[in-house]
Structure 1
Amino acid sequence: MKTAAEISLYPLNDNYLEIIHWFIQRLDSYSEIERLTNGMSTQLQGDHDAIFDLLKVEIAAANEKWGRGVFVCKFIPGGVNLAHTE
């Protein structure tokens, strides 16, 4: 099953932009996942299990490297058109 996820990361750290960029770069290492980022959030789309496996790994990695942060996520089973602009 395809799933879309929208993720916003709010690092509890003064160098928050560095942490957000680091996180997005790590997401790009998953070639099977489609990624779109804007000024508010990052949208991912791909296989349901791949999305959740990615989040499990990357949220833990961010916590280990940078300390606590807030992740706000929304999920749409079945996916969406990430290119939609309306």
Structure 2
Amino acid sequence: MQLTAELSLYPLSEDYIRIVLAFIDRLEQCEELTIRRNAMSTQISGEATQVMQVIQAALTKSFEEFGKQVLTAKFIPGEFSLDAAE
């Protein structure tokens, strides 16, 4: 099953930009997934199990490296992007 997740990370730190970019960079290491960045969120699309595994691994590493953060996520079956709505 294909899945798209829309993610927004909110580090509880003044150095939030560096932390968010590090999180997105970890997501982008998986070349099998489609990653789209925009000003408000990051979309990650691909096979559902792989999407969830990549999010879990990136978030765990981010927690270990940077401490407390809040991740909001929306999930929709299939491949979706903001581009398709235009």
TM tier, smaller: over 0.9
Q: Greater helix percent: which structure?
A: 2
The match for 1:60 is 60
Aligned-partner Cα distance in 2 for 1:42–1:81 = 10
- TM-score scaled to structure 2, two decimals? 0.93
Structure 1 alignment gaps of length 5 or more: none
The percentage of counterpart residues that share the same residue type is 36
2:51 paired residue number: 51
RMSD: 1.2
Q: What is the TM-score of this pair, normalised by structure 1?
A: 0.93
The aligned counterpart of 2:20 is 20
| Residues 36 and 82 in structure 1, CA contact (< 8 A), matched pair in contact too | no
Deviations along 1:15-57, one digit per CA (max 9) or x if unpaired, are: 0000011111111100001011111000010000000011111
Partner of 2:73: 73
Aligned to 1:7: 7
Distance 1:78 1:31 in 2: 18
CA distance in 2, matches of 1:79, 1:34: 9
Residue 43 of structure 2: SS of its match in structure 1?
strand
Q: Which runs of 5+ in 2 are unaligned?
A: none
Conserved 8 A contact 1:7-1:74: yes
CA apart distance, 1:81: 4.0
